Amino acid sequence: MRLLSAVAALVALLASVCATAPARAEDFRAEQMKFPRVRKASTAKGATVKALFKDKQLAWPPSGVLVRVFKEEAILELWGRQKDGGYVLVKEYPVCASSGVPGPKRREGDLQVPEGFYAVNHFNPWSNYHLALGVSYPNTSDRVLGGKGPLGGQIYIHGKCVTIGCIPIEDEAIEEVYLAVLEARAAGQMEVPIHLFPTHLTEAALKRLAQEHGQAEALLAFWANLKEGYDLFEKDHRLPTINVDRKGRYRFAPR
């Protein structure tokens, strides 16, 4: 009986930090607030994050958030959703450590930070790196385009400023981002998007990448594909619908 009770307790604990459970939004928030680091972050940063959204004339709790990361610029952007469905930039945070080179993650142990279109798939309130939000790597595109061996995983946005393929920001910064994503999830946003880019994919930037990586045709084609999604969002700050075809290409449609 003791063993069964211990297993049940572990299952309940894991469910409390999974992005898909519990089903009711208010239950998810309540479960998260059971963790000391989340409670401490809420006390220290809750009013600050609320003010950031209010300053942009956005609802709090937010109806939706978006995270974008630009590897070359070492910037993480936090966006909030307006009533009409468009998004507004709320705040930028410096990414304080990096690993790998420009390009997507294609295999386990390559130290690469992924590039592509993902979502938060895990809330970790007891991370070794303060607080952490899981990135849904590998996605369908990664599985098609990746190597034959293991693709790796366990990619997070987290604190502590160390990385071997993750996206680290300062501890105070991850508290703000974690709380914003938590509150959006608790308000009903079941999938929080994370867009990871090599750089701001302007026409000039893509030409520069072509000059720097002229022999890497597959890589340039991949970046050109990412640019399609980047451009659609930049046009009106609305999230496009994103799918993946059989060749691993992202397919986009405006909403």
Residues sharing a CB contact under 8 Å with residue 44, sequence separation 6 or more, in sequence order: 172, 175
- For the chain, give every domain's residue range: 2-201
Which of 122, 130, 166, 195 is catalytic? The answer is 166
Cα atoms in the 13 Å half-sphere on the side-chain side of 206: 16
pTM summary value: 0.90
**For domain 2-201, is the CATH number 2.40.440.10?**
yes
Residues sharing a CB contact under 8 Å with residue 19, sequence separation 6 or more, in sequence order: 119, 120, 121, 122, 123, 134, 185, 190, 191, 192
Which of 122, 130, 158, 195 is catalytic? The answer is 158
Characterize 209-243 residue by residue with b for buried, 16 or more Cβ atoms within 10 angstroms of its Cβ, and e for exposed: beeebeeeeebbebbebbbebbebbeeebebbebe
For residue 237, indicate whether it is catalytic.
no
| Token reading at 144 | 């098609």
What is the distance between the alpha carbons of residues 236 and 89, in angstroms, rounded to a whole number? 12
- Residue by residue, pLDDT tens for the chain (255 residues) are 343 334 333 433 444 444 444 456 669 999 999 999 999 999 999 999 999 999 999 999 999 999 999 999 999 999 999 999 999 999 999 999 999 999 999 999 999 999 999 999 999 999 999 999 999 999 999 999 997 889 999 999 999 999 888 999 999 999 999 999 999 999 999 999 999 999 999 999 999 999 999 889 999 999 999 999 999 999 999 999 999 999 999 999 988
Q: Cβ atoms within 10 A of the Cβ of 65, count?
A: 26
For residue 158, indicate whether it is catalytic.
yes
